[in-house]
Chains A and B, each alone.
Chain A
Amino acid sequence: MSADEKFFAWLDGELSGAEAAEMEAKVASDPDLARLAEQHRALGGKLKIVFDQVAEAPVPKHLIETIRPPARVIDFQSAKEAREARRAWHPAAQWAAMAATLVLGFFAGTFTPRYDNAPVKVQDGAIYASASLNQALGSELASAPAAGPVRIGLTYRDQTGAICRTFTEAKSSGLACRNGARWQLHGLFPAPEGQGDAYRMAAGMDPNLATLVNSTIAGDPFGPAQEKAAQRRGWK
C-alpha cells in the first residue's frame, strides 16, 4: 500500500489498531496532510449531498411495479367475453357451458345430448350440427327466413377459407363452419335464463358470438346474392 493509499484508507476508516493510530498521529503533526484530509472529507460530503438528492426523490412508480405488479384491475365484462370466446373454441369446455340447458348423459365412454332436439352431436371429438340444424344451415337463407326452429344470421368466409354461418335456435345461438359435407360447430352459447323463442327472435347477436365472428371473419359478411350463390355451390 502506497503512502497515499494508506492515508486514504485511514480517512475511510479502513485502517485499524496500530496502523490507524500511526496515521492519525502523522496527520495531526502535518498541517498539509491535515488540510488534505479536511478537503477530502468535504469532497465526500459534497458527493453524498449531490447524489442523495436522487435517493431522496420519489422512486418512479414503474420501478416499484416491476418488482411488485399492482393487483390487476379486472374489467369483468371483457374478462367474461374473452373467457366465453375461448370456451366457444374448445369443444370440451363448450359442452360444460351447455350442460345447464342440454342435460348431458354418458354412454359407454362417449356422450351425446339426451335432449332430443339438441342442435348438435359429438363425433370424433368434434361437435357437428345435428340433423335438424344441419338441414337448416344447408338450406335456409337469411334473406328468406323459414318458419322452422332455426334462424340463420350471418354467412361469411372465415380466415381458413371455410364458409361459416351464425344461427339462433330455441335455447342457444352459435357459429357453424363447413367442414367437408358437414357443419362443424365452432361456438354455441346458451340463451340467457328464461328466454326461449323470444331469444330466437331477438335482433341482437349474443356478444360472445359477435366476438367469435369478429375474430374469425375474413372480409365482409355475405349479402343476399353471395349467400344464395354459396348455397348453389354447396357451401364450398
Chain B
Amino acid sequence: MNTEIEGNRWHELRLAGQLTSDYSGFFRLCRQRARQLKELDIRRRKYIRLALLGSANTDFLADMLEFSLDIHGIGCEIIEAPFNTYAYQMLNADSLVAKFRPDVAVFVGAALNQPEWPDINTPDEEVEIMAGRVAGYWLDLCRALHDNTGCEIVFDNFSQLSWKPNGNLSARHAADHNNYLTRINCLIGRNAPPYLHINDVAWMSSYHGVSNWFDTRYWHHAKLPVSFGCIVPYVRNISGIIAALYGGSRKVLVLDLDNTLWGGVVGDDGVDSIRIGHGSPEGEAFLYFQRYILQLKNRGVLLAVCSKNDDSGARAPFTDHPEMILGLDDFACFVANWEPKPDNLVTIAEQLNLGLDSFVFVDDNPAERELMRRQLPDVLTIELGDDPAGFPAQIDEQSPFEVVSLSREDAMRTNQYRENQLRESLRTAVSSYNDYLVSLEQRAIIRCFDESRLDRITQLINKTNQFNLTTRRKTRAEVERLMQDEKYLSVYIQLADRFGDNGVIAVVFGCWGDDCLEVDDWLMSCRVLKRDIEKLTCNYLAEQVARKGRRYIYGNYIPTDRNGMVVDHYPDLGFEQVRKHENGETRWRLDVATYVPAVHSIAIEES
C-alpha cells in the first residue's frame, strides 16, 4: 500500500514536469525531486553516464537534465567539464570526460563561438570552403571524443544571431554571419555520423524567436547558451533525444475524433456539418493537424482511433467527407464504442502487442485526459489547448516520437500492422494453425549484420522488450563493432510472406568459445510471434556451430517485467537447463551433436 502511494507521488511529479515549461516552476519541481529522492519510487529502465561539455556555460543544466531524464525513466550520473575546456576534453584520451567513460556526451554550443568568420568582402567560394572547414572542426572534435570513449554525442547546432548588420542583404551573401551559420548547420547535418545526434537549436530558437532564445546580457555575464525563458524546452529536447537513444520513443498516437480531428460532433451534426477543410479557420486548423498526423504516420508512427461513438458513425467522415486528409487505411487500429477510454486503450495495446508506455493519447476533452492520466499513467496524455491550431505544437513539445534515425521499416510500419490483421483473418479461415502457417508462404533471409541494416538492427535491439532473452541494449557504434568482430556470430533475419514484407524481424548474436557458441542476446519483433522463426533460427545456429566444429550452444534468460513470454524459449527448443539463479535468471545448453532440427514451414531464400 505504502509503495503505491509513493509511486503515485512520483507519477504526480512526473506529470507536473511534463506540463511545466516555465523556468521557475520547473526548477521548483527539480528541487522537490532532489529533496524527496529517497522517498520517491522513480522507476528507471536504464542508467547512463552523462558528460556535459561545450563552448558555453553548462552550470544550470545538470539538475534539470536529471529530472527531465527521470521523466523518461532514465537515471544518470553527470560529470561537468570545466567551462570551455571542450577541445581538450574531446581530443585527449586521458581527459576528465574521456576517463569518465560517458555513455552520452551533451555538447552545449553557442553560435558566437565559431573558430573562423568571413568578412563581408570574402568571396562566396571562399566562404563555402571556410564553412566546410568549420563544420569539419566540430565534426572532427566529435569524432575524436567518440573514438576515445565510444560515447553517443548530442550536439547543439547553431541559432541565428540577434543582430543583422547587413540588413536584408543577409539572405543574398554567403559571407553574412547569419547566412554563414545556416551553411555550417547544413554541412554538419549532412555529414553527421550515426553516433552524432543533432539537438536542433536552429529550429527551436527560430520557433521561440532568437531574441527570446538568447539573452545577450546573460551571455556576456556568464556565457549562458540559452535564456532562462527557453531553458526548459532546451533541456526537454536534449532528454527526448537521449530517451530515443535508449529505446524510449513512443510508437502509437491514439486519437479521439470529435473536436480532435474535426470540429463538431459527427453523431449529432452529421458528416456534412463537421468542420474540416477550407472555408473556415477552424476547419483549416483541423486540416493542418491531420496533415501533421499523416507526416508522423509516414515516418513510422502508428495511428489508432479511440472514440466514444457508434462504430459506423465514427467511420463515416473518413469515407464520406471529401476534405478529410486521413483515411481509414492510415490507422493500425480503430476503436469506437461507449466503453471507458482507458479500457479501450488497453485493448488497443493488446491488439498491437505493445506496452502502455508506447502510447500517446490525444483528446480535446479534459475529463477524458484526466481519467487516462489517473488510470494509465504510463500512457503519455498530451495537454491540449482549446484551439486546434495549437495541437501540433502541443504534441511536439513533449517530443514523444523522437527517433535517432529512420529505417526502411519505419515507413512501412502501418502496412505491416494492417497486413497482420489480414493474417489474423486468414487464421480464422483455415482449420489448423499449421495449415495457417503453411498458407502464409513465409520466406526468410538470414544474414550476418551488414552496413545497410545497421540502423534497423540497432532499433530492434533497443526497442524490443517482450521477445528478448537478455535485453542487452546497444548503441549503433556497439552494433557496428559486433558486425566487425570475428569472434562473434551476429545475424539478422528478414521475413516476407504472401501479405507483404516484414523487413528485419529477428536478431541474434553470440560469441564463439572453444567448444561452443555463447548466445549474448536473442530477440524478435512482436509482430511475428508464433511463426516458427525461433525454430528456423535455432536450426541455423546449430548448423553454424556444427560447421565451426563446436559442440554446444549456451544461452541465458534474464527476466525483466516485460519478457515473461520467453521464459520457456530455450526448453521449448530442446535446450537443457544448466543453472538457475535465485533472481530467476536461467542458463541453458543445447548439444548440437544430438540436436534434431525443428520442423517448420518457412522457406529459406538465402543464408
Whether both chains belong to one complex is answered with: no
